[in-house]
Amino acid sequence: MFVRVASTCALIATALLAGCSGDQHDARLQKAGPNPSLEALLKVADAEIGARKFGRCAACHRINPGAPDLGGPNLYGIYGRPMGRNSPRFGYSAALRDAGGTWDAPTLDAWIADPARRVPGTTMMFSGVSDPLDRADIIAYLQSRPGPAR
């Protein structure tokens, strides 16, 4: 009897915690529509949620004005900047410096999904974020940290 009650309580607690995550991932994904485009995902993306998801990036990156570079460059103000040029102090790989392009939403989406596929030869050792809404949330967060006008 005790085992059954404990199991039921554990299941209820798990269901409640899953529903109270504050992320509303499935609801936001459904709102984006079937097979959503990046544009549709960005419409339901949440910068605050992206800030939490950026935590996995924070081991190597900071995103504050004047913060030091770590294993990766400070990403403050990266959105809209040329690839491989955001931090004058960081030693970007030749592959990233030579990749061309700017850090816009499609470029960031491809990079966050799989850095080595987006820029072969990059030195960034990160397997990527597979969930497209998680990537959109992180992009929304990066967009919310625009840095000074350039």
- In tens, the pLDDT along 76-111 reads 999 999 999 999 999 999 999 999 999 999 999 999
Q: What angle do CA 30, 16, 5 make, to 5 degrees?
A: 140
As a whole number, mean pLDDT of residues 136-149 equals 91
Contact present, 129 and 112 (Cβ < 8 Å): yes
As a whole number, mean pLDDT of residues 43-63 equals 96
Token pair belonging to 135? 């990537």
Is the pLDDT score of 6 beyond 60?
no
Write down the mean pLDDT value for the chain. Answer: 86
Token pair belonging to 96? 């990233």
The DSSP string of 111-128 is HHH-HHHHSTT-------
Per-position b or e across 48-72, b if 16+ CB within 10 A of its CB: ebbbebbeebeeebbbeeeeebeeb
- pLDDT for the residue numbered 23: 76
Residues 6+ apart with CB under 8 A from 109: 38, 132, 135, 136, 139
Q: Sketch out the chain's domains with CATH numbers.
A: 24-143 (1.10.760.10)
Is the pLDDT score of 140 beyond 70?
yes
